[in-house]
Each structure stands twice: as C-alpha cells, then as structure tokens.
Amino acid sequence: MPVLETLVTALEPWSSLYGDSTVLSVGLTFAHLGAMMIGGGLAIGADRMVLRAGSVSDPVARRALADAVGDVHRPVVVALLISLVSGLLQLTADLEALAANRILWLKIGLLVALAVNGLLMLRDENALRANPAGTNGLVAALRLRAMVSLVLWLAIVLAGVSLMQG
C-alpha cells in the first residue's frame, strides 16, 4: 500500500471528526488565519519601521531600530507556530486532496523562504546591535530583508486564498 494511502487510512478518524464538526473546522480555521494575521501584522509593522528608518547613521538610532525590530520576533514566531500546527491539522483532515495540490506546496515553499529570510534578518539585527556604528551595509541588508518579508507575507496570503478557492 503506497504511503499516501496508508496515511489517509490512518487519518480517517481525524478526517471524519474534522468533517463532521463545524466547531472544530471553524476553530482551526480561525486559529490558522488569526495567527497569520497577528504574526503577519506584527512583521509588516516591523518591516515598515525598517523601511521608514532609511539609512540611519546614528549608532544610538541604529541600536534602537535593531532592538525594536528584534522585539517582534518572539510573537511572530509563536503566531507562525500556531498557524503551522493548525495548518497541519487542516492538511491531515483532507490529505488525499491536498497532498497533490501545487498551490499548497507553493505556500509551504513560501513559508520556508519566509523563515530563512527571518533568520537572515535576525542575523543582521544582531550584527547591527553588536556594532551600531558599523557600515551602512547592515542597514541596507536589513532594509532588503524587510522588503522581501513584505513580499513573502503577501504571497503567502495569496497562496492561502487560492487554496481556499480550489
């Protein structure tokens, strides 16, 4: 028996429970979308802060920028974890249909890209915090990461909406 069929069979009780329970379905959808909204909203706000800062040259202002943006990481990561768990539960409820869905895999790829960009952003923030009088290259790198973050958050929302339509 192929792996997908085995998983679908093993997940049948969960799939039935999910399909038969409006409360469960609505609750997981709310957790998924609510977490994405909170995490994305905080991240976009931080990205905006970085983009508005321009090429800050004052070391005190650079340190303050790195600290302010860094304060957002924990709640964004928590929100993404909630969204990940709820998304996996939704996926396993309809694994047979979703496993072959290219848009789902695109969304997963975008989420991986967002995570990598977030790690790079964190690296740049830490470098800026450690050496606020450093080169303008750190601020430029942070600005680039902020732009990439904005694009990825919006692309993830578009992919999610596309999944809901298909």
- pLDDT at position 34: 97
- pLDDT at position 78: 95
- pLDDT at position 59: 85
- pLDDT at position 63: 86
User: Count of CB atoms within 10 A of residue 68's CB?
Assistant: 15
- pLDDT at position 98: 86
Q: Give the largest Cα separation in the chain, rounded.
A: 64
Rounded to whole angstroms, the Cα distance separating 126 from 62 reads 11
- Kindly report the pTM of this predicted structure: 0.86
- pLDDT at position 91: 92
C-alpha distances (whole Å) from 35 to each of 26, 70, 114, 147 are: 14, 19, 15, 21
- pLDDT at position 1: 56
Q: How far apart are the first and last CA of the chain?
A: 27
- pLDDT at position 53: 84
Go through the chain and tell me how many residues it has. Answer: 166
Which residues, given as ranges, of the chain have pLDDT below 70? 1, 166
Q: How many alpha carbons lie under 13 Å from residue 78 in its C-beta half-sphere?
A: 7
- pLDDT at position 85: 96
